[in-house]
Structure 1
């Protein structure tokens, strides 16, 4: 946690991954994030994985450091409160993150009528307003047909919700950009950010679109081979799988030296009339022949022999390991200053991240746990909306807030 955004008030009315991730990143940089949910929780409040207590570790993880307000969003008064929170006064307020539909009680038209300089980050599925989630957008973009073994035609969905996460990160960037513009021109804005546009634009940014137009088809699946360079998994003598990658000339030469296969590669170069030293594309084009040389070198060496030699020689490599083993990896979790052991509402204590970027010039602030659902309802209604305790009590009695 850092306090770069200290003083900003962001209100979140959202569920699932993309929009809550956007607000999470803002909270980790110091913004006060107030999330409102339905009394009893929204559609993501019980999503797996679950703690032994039955609480959602998913919800807990995405809502660290936020304040929680519980409202009956089906009631007219509850909807009025949600609107008032999104458009609450204050120079550093008027920032709203949501994935509610474009039309409805949280439309920009209705909210901007309450506060003209409101900035709304609205995460969507498809730009036309139709429903879309990470896995359906991913399927439409063709990536599951590029992923997996080369000899298996079945689509393979990646387990990482990449478009959700990219959308959340871009959303935080776009919201802060709009805020900077508001300091200059005083204008409010609605930013509509569909997962479909994030996915389609990213595919174009990475060259997939131009490639498909040029070749007339999307990239074929090729297992674990790295496209356009030399890299894939190899198995050592003792059965350990390692990922080795050689993109730059230095990475290539270091790998050949560590594996002592310079003569074999030189012989292949002479046979083919090519030089692999500076052309990663040639390495990719002849990856099957090169892979056989690498396979033979790995097959006669154990992981204990290879990995120190790789490290000493500057080879780019990584080991395949299960997450439970990664938890003991000092480069990832154990001892990593990004993480603190924090106890959440679920009752579990585990490594919990603050801001992913480290700022050497600033001190890290303690990582804050997720709230209990509705934990800050009274505080927010009093401090942000200025409601007296008698009115808050009446709202509780009427079941409007919880």
Structure 2
């Protein structure tokens, strides 16, 4: 079946999360992705989190559909191989610290001379310009500088981590958007390539909704609010009789009336001061207390059943066991059968976004380290003898 990115070739120089996650998505929709890894060690992600037979199970989803080529980019030979590949690719993805590729003679100015149509996605902590560009920056730092970490947690307590590497993943998504826009520009406008400069902190900052306007107009600094959603009422997690929590989002005007009627507070449903969100938000603590008192009298299942019957948005708080056993996840193909590097069966995340006519797919499992080195180098005209010599010297 044809895919949207069939014929697009991507060279991945990134490691860990942001750059490789962007390439994962491109590969799922047809792009040919050649991933460059350091000889011997490979991408550090191979050793992150839980390992199976020495390789992270994370690797199975992050690197599916990719080819693995080992290459020491610190050597002149390794750098020359990159120059040989560049004319054959559409997109280069890298997430090194700014200046690293330039130090190797592989910066944008050099590479665009080799391939003027090249699109270069550069993901870094602070971007390619500005006073902080040379500082090391991981996703957690981007989350902090972008404003997210300040908002995470309970009022008056230390900020907490979201729980996943959201700064990296958001940057990857912005990177994919940039690549698609640049491909569209190259195809329909001027035919040339360009650089996409994605900063981790900016990708997080782009999610911060109305915070800037609130500060500039009202001098308001939004604060952490735990499980509630300040200014949008009611929307919170409420403890049920069995100790489990129900997330209830009754913040639409008509939804709020149905919710109050359901819990036996028809009087509040008819209160003019609660008719719209701005009025409800002034007394959010009171409304949360009313809903909380009702939830505490019923089990989670009974709460959700009653809310669903009245078309009030609500849900349980899932852990991964809930997700894996949920019929809706399965029906939507969000849990697919895959395999680890050694062929061990594993359940892996499905593919997003969902396209009706040209959906993404998994065509091959994540590669072993250097699995495709010989084939790729051979396609570049690098002889068996040279490859053997490079192997002995640790270049590949």
Q: Tell me the TM-score normalised to structure 1 length.
A: 0.88
Is 2:87 aligned against 1:88?
yes
- Cα contact 2:171–2:198 (8 A) shared by 1: yes
Secondary structure of 2:74's partner?
coil
Equivalence for 1:399: 394
Equivalence for 1:104: 103
- Cα contact 2:50–2:57 (8 A) shared by 1: yes
Take 2:254 and 2:334, find their aligned partners in 1: how far apart are those partners? 31
Deviation of the 1:381 alpha carbon: 1.5
- Cα contact 2:69–2:372 (8 A) shared by 1: yes
Deviation of the 1:348 alpha carbon: 4.1
Task: Give aligned pairs, total.
Answer: 385
Comparing 13-22 with 36-45, which one deviates more in the overlay?
36-45
Is 2:225 aligned against 1:222?
yes
- Cα contact 1:96–1:121 (8 A) shared by 2: yes
Deviations 1:216-247 (A, max 9, x none): 34212222111221111112222221110122
Spell out the pairing of 1:3-402 with structure 2 (5 A cutoff).
3-42=3-42, 44-85=44-85, 87-89=86-88, 93-100=89-96, 101-102=98-99, 103-105=102-104, 106-127=106-127, 128=130, 129=133, 130-150=135-155, 152-183=156-187, 184-203=189-208, 206-229=209-232, 230-263=234-267, 265-266=269-270, 269=271, 274-277=272-275, 279-332=276-329, 334-345=330-341, 348-362=344-358, 365-366=361-362, 368-383=364-379, 385-401=380-396
Deviation of the 1:22 alpha carbon: 1.1
Secondary structure of 1:3's partner?
coil
- Aligned CA distance change for structure 1 residues 397 and 54 (closer, same or farther; 3 Å): closer
Take 1:386 and 1:338, find their aligned partners in 2: how far apart are those partners? 41
CA RMSD, 1 decimal: 2.3
- Aligned CA distance change for structure 1 residues 29 and 327 (closer, same or farther; 3 Å): same
Deviation of the 1:265 alpha carbon: 4.9
Take 2:118 and 2:149, find their aligned partners in 1: how far apart are those partners? 39
Deviations 1:242-280 (A, max 9, x none): 1101222232233223323223554xx3xxxx4323x11
- Cα contact 2:171–2:200 (8 A) shared by 1: yes
Take 1:3 and 1:375, find their aligned partners in 2: how far apart are those partners? 24
Deviations 1:32-78 (A, max 9, x none): 01100110234524442122322122333311111110112222101
Take 2:217 and 2:359, find their aligned partners in 1: how far apart are those partners? 50
Structure 2 residues not aligned, in runs of 5+? none
Take 2:21 and 2:2, find their aligned partners in 1: how far apart are those partners? 17
Deviation of the 1:366 alpha carbon: 4.2
Structure 1 residues not aligned, in runs of 5+? none
Deviation of the 1:195 alpha carbon: 1.4
